[in-house]
Every structure is written in C-alpha cells, then in structure tokens.
A and B are shown apart, each in its own frame.
Chain A
C-alpha cells in the first residue's frame, strides 16, 4: 500500500457550487466512481435485507463448501456464507473510510488553517509536527498506533485518521497561505473583523475544495489501511465480518477453499477503485487548472 499522496493539482481548486456539481456530473470517472461507492453504501445500509444468511451463523454441514446455488461465494472454515460476510463486511470498510477521514479532516483542517493564517512560530510548530508525522510511513504509524491503542475497529479508525492527518494540515495550510494574500481578506481585516471570524467566514469556505478532493482520495487509502490492519489482526475483531480478517483466515485454507480468498479481495479492489475514480473526478471538476 502506498503512502498518502496529496492531490497533485489540488491547489487552486475553488469551493464547490452548482456549476462545479454540474461539471462533476460530466466527469465520467466521477460518475463511475460515485456509482460504485453508492452500490457499496446501499449494500452496507441494507445488509440485513440483502444478505442471504446471517453473517456469523455457522453451518457445520457446509464447512468450506464450494460456490453453489445455495452459497454463491461458497462457505468458510466455520460453514458461514461468504457472500453474506462480504456484504456485512462493507459496513466496516465504509465506516473506516468515512470515520478515519473525518478524524483526519477534523484534526488537520483547523491546524492547517491556524498555521497558514497566523504564520510565524505557530506555523513553524504545527508544520514541524506534521513533518514528523509524515516522516513515519503511513501504514507503519497506523500499525504502531493500533498496536498501542489495542486491536478494535474503533482504534483502527483513530489510528488511520491520525496517520492521515498531516496531509490535511499541509493541504489546508498551503491553500490558506494563498487565500490570505487575496484582497477580500485584507478588506475583512481592515473592517476590524476578528481573526476567528475571518478564518471561519472568509478563509475556510475558500480552502474547502482541495480538502474535499484530498478527503475523497484518502478514503481509498483508508479502506486499504483498514483492510490491512484487519488482515494483521489489528482491526475489526472476529467473528464480526471484515474483508481484511476474512482474507487472513482464507490464507490458511488456500489449497482446500480458494473461494474464501477471492470475493473479499475483489470487494476491496472495487471499493478502492470507486473512491480513486471519484477522487480523480472531483479533482478534475473542482480544479480549474486541469
């Protein structure tokens, strides 16, 4: 898994409005990506109705049963229906994507705003902290944090969010520096508006677009990271279904039941591709330089 890359041309993006939304709908990659993601959102929300079986219900008469009409994706080592577990596993992956990116944005955006707006010592301290976090490769930091916090989906999401946070500090800071040179900021200052009012009323709306682009791209990385942590035993704990932990179990039965390994992997790839395409499309739509 690669580290988080900042959206390459995110700088200069404008705040999203009706015209940007229309442009987004004209981007084929954004539409395809959003459709894929929407498909998984529906799966996650209506898993209880869509899944043919209860995900944790073992069937001792159908242990490691090959795909059939009764079990489309086969069953696992405890006779549980793989399709049902893949459908329910969507909840953990999407939750990880949304919650960890929210954690990263909620921590990184204010820090980046403050650093870019005030500059000086505050900027230096925040930037050096972000640099230090960025020096630790994303997955290694997430593993270390998850290890010290203890294995659980909640802690995995916190670990991924904190590890992804410095990228948002950088994006928000860089954009704030550009916005602060604009005349309307000087005008707001000359009117005697407080710094907090300028930051939230004038600067924040104008730095949101690149942050949204980065957040969409980071969702893909967060989904991969959650699957990786679960694969290592540091994410969603069994018996709750998670694509990563399903693959960890499947690895032990590759010779006898290869089907156990195929569908969770395909699901991860599809969701990650969905987020990546959506991120590229959002970048193209919101970034006038492209």
Chain B
C-alpha cells in the first residue's frame, strides 16, 4: 500500500470518527429521552436502571394523554406562535435581507451590525423590562406577546442568513432582469424569491424550531392560557415528585413535529443551506 493511500485512509478515518462522535453526542440524549419515556418510574430511577423487558410500558404516554387537554392547549399555542413568528420573520426578513444585500443603502453596514447587536444581550437582562412593557400593553399571557418577542430574536437571524443567500445569487440574473425592464420590487418578487425557495424554506424551518423550543420567555410572559408545550412539559416536574416517565413522554411528543419536519424536508433544507455556500 502506498504512503498516499495510507494517508487517505487515515484522513478518512479521522473524519468518519469525528462525525460518529458528533452524532453520538447529539443523538444519545434523544435516545435516552425515548427510552426513559417508555420505562416505568421505578425501573428508571433504580440504580442501575432496570432494563429488563418488564420495565417497558406505554403507561407514560397514556398518562400524558390523560392530561391531554392541558398538553393539547400547549401544543396548539406553540404551533400557532411558531407558525406566525416564522411567517412574519420570513415575510419581513426576506425583503430586508435583499435590500441589505443588493441596494445601495446608506449605512447598511451599521444597520447590519445593529441587527446583530440585538443578539448580544442575554435574555435575562431584558426579561424584566419586557415583562413590564407587556404588562402595560395588557399582553401578558397572550400568544401575541410571544410572537412579538420571538420575532425580536428570530428576525435578525433570518435577515443575516437570507442576506448571505441573496449575496450568493449571481448578480447577472438580476441585471438581466433590470435590462428586461423589471423594477427592483419585480426583480425581488419574480426572480429572486422563486429561485430562493430552498433557502427560504430552510431558514423558515430554523425559525420555526427556534420558536417551538423556546422556554425562558414563555415562562416569564405566560401564565395559563398562552402556555406553550415546553412549559406544560416542565410541569411534570412537580414540587414533591418528578414524573420522569411522563415528562419524557411529553418531551418526545414535543420534539416529534420538529424531527418530522427535518426528516420530511431533509433534502430541501440541505439544498437550502448548501446553496448559500456555493459562490455564484
């Protein structure tokens, strides 16, 4: 075997090994989540956990569904909030990103940095002011409050990601459209948007997941009617007892839509993110 061949095999092994480690670290908690959602509390909390066949049960899921009214409400809230947040983030973010990518806007770089700057503040710093503002507006414990807050951190990310995609579009296409007589708005609507469906979708999925998973602001800004799925799940950890199995079952149900979304549109998401990385 030649030296080069050995080198290639070693290099490949390092890459494969690294990826395997990454996958293991990422997947292990999920796997544990699913396993523990299927185990009886006693078997789960035993040391070491009792993995015998008798320990597995669907009772946790049955328990979760028994509390379905609450959980259903949480899921519905999460879904509506995530959907609206995503829709508005894309609808507002895409034109903003295009403008910042292509139009000669005075101070565009400053604007971009300011948008990024909003991401620098830890949530805890703005939590209390935010609560006060929302309470003055009478928005505490409403889905609208969550949508507004989630937009404030989703929109900057959406703008930054989409701007990267739009910059990667070969400008010749837009120039051709300009020569053909299209206005900037027409170029955006008829040329740029249709060829950016994959990136738009990938970014949308990203924004959706961000909103779906959010816990902290939901905890602060909601009480009862607007509570989202993560909050409902957390309630399985009570003051005197944590119902691990049910909590895990609810969590498994909560990540299911996101995982399904990712698997279903895997190709489109991959294509979307890959497109932004290829120079036009």
A binds B: no
